[in-house]
Amino acid sequence: AQTVTQSQPEMSVQEAETVTLSCTYDTSENNYYLFWYKQPPSRQMILVIRQEAYKQQNATENRFSVNFQKAAKSFSLKISDSQLGDTAMYFCATIAHSGNKLVFGAGTILRVKS
C-alpha cells in the first residue's frame, strides 16, 4: 500500500519570497508518479507539477520546482517569488505506474502575505 505524509498543516510566506512544502511517501512500487496539486479558495483542484520516479532530474514548472529524493522517499515543492495567488491548500500525491488510484497527503495550507 502507498502512503503520503505532509507534516506541515499550515505555512506562511511573504510575497516575493521562497517557500518549501514537505512531502514524504512510502511505496513498494518500482515505477510510480508523484504530483503536487493546488486547491485555492475556489476549491478547484489544479495540477501544479508532476515527477516520474524513474527520472532523476527534478521537475520544474516556472516558479514551481521539486526536490525529489528517491532513496529518502521525499518529494518537496519549492515555490519561488511567491505571489498572493499562490495562497491555497497544497496536496502531494502518488500513483503507481500501472495503478488506478491516486493516494493523497492530508494537505498543507499555504498563506502568502503582502
Q: Interface with another protein by CB under 8 A: which residues?
A: 33, 35, 43-47, 50, 52, 89, 91, 95-97, 99-102, 104-107, 109
Q: Which is nearer to another protein, 46 or 84 (CB)?
A: 46
Give me the least distance between CB of 79 and another protein, in Å please: 19
Helix (H, G, I), strand (E, B) or coil at 23: coil
Q: Which is nearer to another protein, 16 or 46 (CB)?
A: 46
Answer yes or no: are the C-beta atoms of 103 and 2 closer than 8 Å: yes
Q: Which of 85, 75, 68 minimizes the C-alpha distance to 15?
A: 85
The size of the chain, in residues, is 114
Q: Which is nearer to another protein, 82 or 105 (CB)?
A: 105
Give me the least distance between CB of 89 and another protein, in Å please: 8
97 contacts: CB under 8 Å, gap ≥ 6: 29, 31, 32, 33
